[in-house]
Amino acid sequence: MSLLKEPDFGTPERPGEATVSVDVDGLSVAVPEGTSVMRAAALAGVDIPKLCATDSLEAFGSCRLCVVEIDGRRGTPASCTTPVADGMRVRTQTPKVAKLRQGVMELYLSDHPLDCLTCPANGDCELQDMAGVVGLRQVRYGYEGENHLDAETDRSNPYFDFDPSKCIVCSRCVRACGEVQGTFALTIEGRGFDSKVSPGAGELFMDSECVSCGACVQACPTSTLQERSVVELGMPTRSVVTTCAYCGVGCSFKAEMRGDELVRMVPYKDGGANEGHSCVKGRFAFGYASHPDRILKPMVRDRITDPWREVGWDEAISTVATRMRGLQERYGPGSIGAISSSRCTNEEVFVVQKMVRAAFGNNNIDTCARVCHSPTGYGLKQTFGESAGTQDFRSVAQADVIMVIGANPTDGHPVFASRMKRRLREGARLVVIDPRRIDLVRSPHIEAAHHLQLRPSTNVAVVNAMAHVVVTEGLVDREFVDARCEGFEEWEEFVARPENSPEATESVTGVPAGELRAAARLYAEAPNGAIYYGLGVTEHSQGSTMVMGMANLAMACGNLGRDGVGVNPLRGQNNVQGSCDMGSFPHELTGYRHVSDDAVRTVFEELWGRTLLSEPGLRIPNMFDAAIDGTFRGLFVHGEDIAQSDPNLQHVTAALESMELVVVQDLFLNETAKFAHVFLPGASFLEKDGTFTNAERRVNRVRSVMRPKAGKHEWEIVCDIATAMGYPMSYDHPGQIMDEIAQVTPTFRGISFETLDKHGSIQWPCNEDAPEGTPTMHVDSFVRGKGRFVVTNYLPTNERTTSRFPLVLTTGRILSQYNVGAQTRRTGNVAWHPEDLLELHPHDAEVRGVQDGDEVTLASRVGKTTLRAQISDRMPPGVVYTTFHHPVTGANVVTTENSDWATNCPEYKVTAVQVGLAHPLGARDADPVREGRPVGVE
């Protein structure tokens, strides 16, 4: 494939029918009202020269290169800022405009370095291109006199340089930072000749509010903002369109290559989830794929205290198969199992669960998705009939009121957050429900109408109180409820009880009753009210209850079945949705169908040629308990680091140490690999061929940019293990795996690699009724028929503060790092977040004698770790906060075994802790509770 160049129409598309007819240089074109002359010309096949214009930004009209003549009008208007009119006749190539354009270009070049042959943007520079387009052959002004050629380059950012000597002050970077990203970190400083792009008076990029999303780099028409990878490797020569392997937004990128080397990741304008935008992780943090820490040879050892021994693939696979069969012979068929990963493709996840069910002969398959969003699946299935979010991301552009509950989109889902912030700047109102004051509460040009700063673990009490307001103040959408729902009367009686009122729950939640009432009214009275939520909802002992509570609230207000509304989970990892869809739970086959369903099981049995068990298998916590009891002896861990990411790590490591065979398949020797007997090298997303499914149910193609460095695709390795265990599994291509998925999964019936290549991406359900997918769920009726209201009693968590552990710890993510950090810590992103910090309210710090930057101990009833304190008023007194990206901290050493009542999703967000100044190293007493620091680094 050659380098993919996407067309740039100069100004954004305008909605509506093409009703305005325009003549451009004798070519007729019909466009929607409000379209610019520049875009109309481009659609007619006429490219007007431009520098300040690009179709991702609103027209600015500063460069004056796009001037045209229009019959019947005086002067030479800028085509980017001039809207079309019916019957308009435009001339883009006249002697007058040619002379004007050449004069403009002369001025630009008179203050620009003449280093095209050595410039890293040579061949990819719009200024260079436009000089040729306008036919400039000389600069009459010369190159003497005052200029900016000695301006100093800012090299502070780890990924790109800012060279102001090459800046033409077109403002595209400034506008991209504001309009696309919504950070407003850049500005134009000075006037006239002294005008310059600035990240802040006297500041470097790294000292500014810049979040390194790359929008400015993407927008720059010269090499003023230039990726260092291009400087070091040269311009790319070919492109492969693929999907980012970080968060659940699922951004599409052009992986631009030079030979077999990845030069840069460029956000793809036709990406359904991101439409040409990106974040620092997807745009720049891909270097881990070629990091020297990667293990590229299979390794085995008899005991975890032995050194690793490199072996060939045949020996590694034979070792796994032989030892797994031996464990079953000694301990029974259910003594082995597997854990699949939300970072892997749908095809890889599917073959792992197939291996467990058909080759292992049990249902002992679980996934990391259960420890984050399984309450979403349960709660939405109970109320709506489908275990997934209701809208596409574009839908937020129609929302009038947005409720963000237990999510931090600017850090966890930044590209979607930019969409949301754009809508908020247009006038939508925002309600944030979170114990922590996240950036969305107040950011440039946006401010939440209400921040309900609840106490951790009281989500259900808050949503019940909001529902109480809706019911008792006559705000229910009776027409919607009567036509489309059931169970309303019982639920209405429940939430109307006095104990569910904002006044009665205030002492529990900490949310002022008046503030909660105002927020509930705002949501209920909005023409379109949308709910977006994250792990701050699901990772609680009442996670499933809260999901049902939000569904109740949305149904009561009629906020389902159209654009701008819905109940929308923001999935944490790139394929959390897909991992769940693919049957990775011990009780469900693909499409969320229970293993006890004889008809469903028969479909799989006939295709796979194996009798499948009708009883659910073991969840991850059950596997650990059984391992310690001696009945579970072998575990295949596919792409997960459970010894860092799972709760109560003391229990996790005890279980791993108890097993006779632990097989880890991953890129790096992670924390779990310390307990492994076989290590199978995995493939990075750049080496994968398959699909990911993002948070909006969008199935995106993942295409191989290069061959697997370890020699095998991950799906091939799994198939080889199953075959060696006596169950033949073989595919020629991952597209055949997707065909099998479609054959056995009704919601995927119409999905294939061919249809994805044709449409770009598809949101399931995709079948005979919806051959091009389903952007919005539950339009005319719910999947289950009628939406079901469920009574959601609030039950306090068993995790209570005490005099010994008086504080509550809650956890979250930060923009620059991802999950356990195995990938991002091996990139330049460490420049922003080199360690996990403990955010501590000034009051709590003062009473403990803690100052900013002090090393402190963080202890719970199950463990203790050490990290540095950061004094912050983002949390209320009594609540502390940290991230979990660095294994040296081992934050999950202190989290407990408490979990959601329905799904066993761990209660990561509520742990009773104590914080104190760390003892000097030499004086630290031996502690029977395992500390976090010995965990080590990957």
Instruction: Give the CA count within 13 Å in the CB-facing half-sphere of 512.
Output: 5
Tell me if 913 sits within 8 A of 801, measured CB to CB: no
**Listed range (356-360, 547-551, 863-867) with the worst mean pLDDT:** 863-867
Query: What is the phi/psi pair of residue 252, to 5°?
Result: -90, 140
Q: Which CATH topology does 20-133 take?
A: Ubiquitin-like (UB roll) (3.10.20)
Tell me if 167 sits within 8 A of 148, measured CB to CB: yes
Q: What's the rounded Cα separation, in Å, for the pair 930 and 406?
A: 30
* Beta bridge pairs of residue 634: 336, 661
Domain range 807-934, CATH architecture: Beta Barrel (2.40)
Question: DSSP states of 709-770 as a string?
Answer: TTSS-HHHHHHHHHHHTT-----SSHHHHHHHHHHH-GGGTT--HHHHHHHSEEESP-SSS-
Q: What's the rounded Cα separation, in Å, for the pair 181 and 593?
A: 40
Which whole number is the average pLDDT over 288-293?
A: 94
The string of pLDDT tens digits covering residues 698-739 is: 999 999 999 999 999 999 999 999 999 999 999 999 999 999
Query: How far apart are the two ends of the chain, measured CA to CA in Å?
Result: 36
Cα angle 393, 549, 397 (rounded to 5 degrees) comes to 20
| C-alpha dist (Å) from residue 720 to 229, 287, 310, 318, 506 | 37, 29, 18, 9, 58
Closest CA to 50 of 63, 40, 37, 39: 63
Q: What's the rounded Cα separation, in Å, for the pair 388 and 567?
A: 9
Cα angle 421, 426, 429 (rounded to 5 degrees) comes to 70
| C-alpha dist (Å) from residue 337 to 333, 358, 626, 635 | 10, 12, 11, 5
The string of pLDDT tens digits covering residues 773-800 is: 999 999 999 999 999 999 999 999 999 9
Mean pLDDT of all residues belonging to the chain: 93
More confident: 372 or 224: 224
Question: Domain ranges in the chain?
Answer: 20-133, 302-372+576-730, 374-569, 807-934
Q: What's the rounded Cα separation, in Å, for the pair 367 and 403?
A: 29
Tell me if 870 sits within 8 A of 839, measured CB to CB: yes
What is the band of 926 on the pLDDT scale with cuts at 50, 70, 90? very low
Type of residue numbered 653? T
Structural tokens at position 449 = 């109408």
Whether the predicted pLDDT of 938 surpasses 70 = no
**Listed range (144-153, 390-399, 929-938) with the worst mean pLDDT:** 929-938
pLDDT of 52: 96
Tell me if 364 sits within 8 A of 528, measured CB to CB: no
Which whole number is the average pLDDT over 431-447?
A: 96
Among the four given CATH numbers 3.40.228.10, 3.40.462.10, 3.40.50.2000, 3.40.50.720, the one describing domain 374-569: 3.40.228.10
Question: DSSP states of 242-274 as a string?
Answer: EE-SSSTT--EEEEEEETTEEEEEEE-TT-TTT
pLDDT of 921: 42
* Beta bridge pairs of residue 575: none
What is the band of 872 on the pLDDT scale with cuts at 50, 70, 90? very high
The string of pLDDT tens digits covering residues 845-864 is: 999 999 999 999 999 999 99
pLDDT of 57: 97
What is the band of 929 on the pLDDT scale with cuts at 50, 70, 90? very low
Spatial strand order of the sheet with 252-258 comes to: 238-243, 252-258, 261-267
Domain range 302-372+576-730, CATH architecture: 3-Layer(aba) Sandwich (3.40)
Q: What's the rounded Cα separation, in Å, for the pair 287 and 708?
A: 15
More confident: 922 or 45: 45
What's the pTM value of the predicted model, to 2 decimals? 0.94
Q: What's the rounded Cα separation, in Å, for the pair 686 and 694?
A: 17
Tell me if 917 sits within 8 A of 882, measured CB to CB: no
- Domain 20-133 and domain 374-569, same fold? Reply is no
| C-alpha dist (Å) from residue 877 to 771, 842, 846, 914 | 53, 8, 11, 13
| Other Cβ atoms closer than 10 A to 748 | 27
* Beta bridge pairs of residue 485: 787
Structural tokens at position 468 = 């109480």
Tell me if 848 sits within 8 A of 916, measured CB to CB: yes
What is the band of 368 on the pLDDT scale with cuts at 50, 70, 90? confident
Q: Which residue is it, tokens 């009119």?
A: 85
Q: What's the rounded Cα separation, in Å, for the pair 32 and 45?
A: 17
The separation between CA 668 and the C-alpha centre of its own chain, rounded to angstroms, equals 22
Type of residue numbered 147? N
More confident: 300 or 115: 300
Which whole number is the average pLDDT over 20-34?
A: 97
